[in-house]
Structure formats: C-alpha cells, structure tokens
Structure 1
Amino acid sequence: MAAGAVEVAAAVVEVGSAGQFEELLRLRAKSLLVVHFWAPWAPQCGQMNDVMAELAREHPQVSFVKLEAEAVPEVSEKYEISSVPTFLFFKNSQKMDRLDGAHAPELTKKVQRHASSGSFPPSGNEHPKEDLSLRLKKLTHAARCMLFMKGTPQEPRCGFSKQVVEILNKHNVQFSSFDVLSDEEVRQGLKTYSNWPTYPQLYVSGELIGGLDIIKELEASKELDTICPKAPKLEERLKVLTNKASVMLFMKGNKQEAKCGFSRQILEILNSTGVEYETFDILEDEEVRQGLKTYSNWPTYPQLYVKGELVGGLDIVKELKENGELLPILKGEN
C-alpha cells in the first residue's frame, strides 16, 4: 500500500495526496484500479462508498480507492473532475473508463466488465433479448437526434466519430449522444438492432440515418439541414433559460443533489426563504455552461437570476441575505 494511505472498510483504500495517488497507480498497475472522487457534504457519495465496500468484498482482485475531490485538487483537475461522485477506472496506470454520478448498477456492471478483461458480465446479469431490444428502442428515441459514437462530443475516441460531431456542430444540429464504449451490451446489440455493423450511427426520430459516409453525402446534397433539427442560437436559448422561471438558479447539480459545495450552500439559503425557484444543471450542458459565463459576464457558478436579470453568485447572495435584501429581490419587490 502507498505510504500514508489508509485502509477503510473492506479493502477500500483512502488516499489524501497527489503523491500517494501516483504511487498507488504505480504499485497497483497490474490490477484494475477503481477510484471514487467524493465529497463528505454529498449524501450520494456516502451511499456509493457503501457500494464500493460491497464491490471490494466481491472482487478481491480489484483495487478500490476513495479520494476526496476538493481535498486533492491537483488530481481532480488533472482528470477533469467537475462533480461528485465520479468514478475513474485505471489499468496499467492509464485511465480507461469513467462513470459520472451515483449509478450503483452501472458501477457494478463496469467493475464486472473490466475485472474480467473487457468481457461482459456472466449471462445471469445480462438483460433478456427482449429487454435489450426495448432498451435500444428507448435509447434511439431518447432525443429527436441521437448519435451513437465512440466517446463523447467533447472527447471523441475515434476519427469517424470526431468527423461526424464536427459536421453536426458545423450545421448547428441539436443532438444528444451515447458512448458505445461505455456499454458493451448496447455496442453489440445496436449493430443487430439497426442492421448496421459500424460506428458512429445517427438516428433521427428513432430511425437510423446511417454512419459517416451517409452523413457526408447528406451534407453534400444539402439534405442534412432538412433532416436534422436545428439548435436555437445560443444567445436566444440563454435568454429563454434565464427567464424560464421568476427565480432561476444555474448550478452544479439540482435541487435534490448539489454537486459542489457552493451550489449546496446557495440551495440552503434559497430554501430558507420559502420562495419558489427552478434550477438548471450546467454539468449536463457544456454549451450553456460556457455560454452563460459570457452572456452574464460572470465567470463562475452558481449564478442566480430573478426575472431574467443576474443577481450574482454565492457571495452576493450571502451579503443580500445578511442585509435583509434577498427576500424582496427574490419576490421582485426591488
């Protein structure tokens, strides 16, 4: 075990510094290493720690690690950890997979898959074929325009996926995506479901359009613009979002599950006022996350809006509360 690392629960190691983490990566290079980036203020992290402890008992050959994200910022920044809980999977000291959020079944599935060198979990854990077909139908209809690709639009993991994303972005197409590398069942099942053997695959209204070559042809014939839904211009979209409710909070997470300490604190303040408000999770939409910084000329989150006008972030909201000005502002009396 790395010097200074602490054993917790059953074979879960807690790491408190970047040096310990790098040493652990080196020492456990030959085994699968699962790292939970967590925070003590997030109740969902505590739940996932219990899941980790159970998985550690079931998979003694796998190394499980807890790392407090805000206490070791250099590691969190290196691996782009923007919310908790987040799980990273390492083999041979290299990051090979990632899971964002408190999804116990998905964590279990990924551990099983990677622990058995990439093979899918035993047949007892697989969905029956009819369940898979239903799941694929739901996924292909999850958004009007769905792209099944390797990686994400922000981090494509193959050249073909990268090219499709560039074409869709160039034409201002509004689309959602699914990383087929994150789910072997979907990756293999969709080939049969769609009768299309390769990735990426683009669906519109649940119907397969095709892969990269077809999308290039549609672009050349100018049919792509008529087939795929257009994203509204960002400024128009932000104006609509900031006016969606009288009081709108743009934060990391949502009312039920804050994903950073600042967002959690501002939720507590708003809840204490009794005023109705809505939230928008900027971690779910990179375009909004970056665009709102420019739109509002405010570089950080959370951001609070009343009737479409920026009030400010946590510090300003705290000051307004202390001065007795917050409630009149939230009620639109100022």
Structure 2
Amino acid sequence: MGSCVSKNKARDNDSDHNVDFAAGNVKLITTKEAWDQYLEEARRDGKIVIANFSAAWCGPCKMIAPYYCELSEKYTSMMFLVVDVDELTDFSTSWDIKATPTFFFLKDGQQLDKLVGANKPELQKKIVAINDSLPEYKQ
C-alpha cells in the first residue's frame, strides 16, 4: 500500500514509494525551489496549477490520490502538484493549511479556488469548471 508521499529515506528507491501520490502527471513537491520552478513553468505555459497539500499519514489523502492521478492524465492542460505538508511545514503554514488534503487552484500564482477535504465529486466539478473557462490553446 502506497503512502501520500515518500520521505527522505526513500529517495534512492522512489519508484515504489511514490506509486500512489506522484503517478500520472502529478509532480511531487518537497522543496520551495521546486514549487517556484513549477509555478514559473505554469505561468509561462498559461497553465492552471492544482496544488494538493497532503500528508503521508492522512487516510483521506491516500484515498483521493489515485483519483487525483487519474484527473491529471485527463486534464493535461493543467499542472497537478502534490505538496508534502510534513516536508514543507513552514511553506504549508504560509498557505494556512488547516486540514489535509487541501486543494488550491492557481492561475499565475493567484488563487482562483480552494477545496478542503477528499471530496471527489467536488474536486472534479471545480476542475471541469476551470477547464471549461480556459481558452483553447492550440500549440
């Protein structure tokens, strides 16, 4: 059974520790630098960012992880991130995370929407609404 996100000791053997959480097009964030880098990339590409603040010990986080990964493969025009609140405690505090999972929907680094809790229908509804509001980018 996978966990939300791998801990440091699993670094050399990432592949099976991140199976659940960083599968599909989901990118695992364990440093502030990685966060800044992905947000910059999303801004450049005009992508909406969905940031899932999760914890390895959190049951609901584990429950929604495979679904989040599925959505990341379906909505490729968005960037799906998962932030380990235990790895990035100060950073998560700065986002005022009171419960996990908390999902933020960002455009150009600004919050469009937020969802607290592992609510699959609500998560999909918000993603669909944002996706439908996006102009079609033809690369």
Residue 91, structure 1, aligned to residue 107, structure 2: yes
The alpha-carbon deviation at position 26 of structure 1 amounts to 1.0
Quote the residue 1:65 is aligned against.
Answer: 81
Deviations 1:68-99 (A, max 9, x none): 11210222112111110100011112111100
The equivalent residue for 1:167 is none
Tell me if structure 2 keeps the 8 A contact 1:33–1:89.
yes
5+ residue gaps in structure 2? 1-17, 135-139
Greater radius of gyration (CA)? 1
Q: Is it true that 1:25 corresponds to 2:25 in the alignment?
A: no
Q: In 2, Cα distance between the equivalents of 1:105 and 1:115?
A: 15
**How do residues 191-206 of structure 1 correspond to structure 2 at under 5 angstroms?**
none
Matches of 2:95 and 2:58, distance apart in 1: 20
Deviations 1:103-152, CA, capped at 9 Å, x for gaps? 0000001011112227xxxxxxxxxxxxxxxxxxxxxxxxxxxxxxxxxx
* Superimposed CA distance per residue, residues 226-271 of structure 1 (whole angstroms, 9 cap, x where no aligned partner): xxxxxxxxxxxxxxxxxxxxxxxxxxxxxxxxxxxxxxxxxxxxxx
Distance across 1 between alignment mates of 2:96 and 2:70: 27
Q: Is the 8 A contact 1:18 1:74 kept in 2?
A: no
CA deviations over 1:28-66 (Å, ceiling 9, x no partner): 111011011001111110111111111011111111111
Residues 1-334 of structure 1 mapped to structure 2, 5 A cutoff: 8-29=22-43, 30-117=46-133
The higher relative CO (CA closer than 8 Å, separation ≥ 6) is in 2
Please give the secondary structure, in 1, of the residue aligned with 2:47: coil
Identity of aligned residues (%): 25
* TM-score, structure 1 normalization: 0.33
Tell me how far apart the structure 1 counterparts of residues 121 and 82 of structure 2 sit (CA, whole Å). Answer: 19
Unaligned runs of 5+ in 1: 1-5, 119-334
Q: How many residues align?
A: 114
Matches of 2:31 and 2:117, distance apart in 1:
23
CA distance in 1, matches of 2:34, 2:122: 28
* TM-score of the superposed pair, with normalisation by structure 2: 0.76
Name the CA distance, whole Å, in 1 between partners of 2:39 and 2:53.
Answer: 15
- Where 2:115 maps in the other structure, the secondary structure is strand
Q: Is the 8 A contact 1:86 1:99 kept in 2?
A: yes
> What is the RMSD computed on CA atoms of the aligned residues?
1.9
Q: In 2, distance between residues paired with 1:13 and 1:69?
A: 14
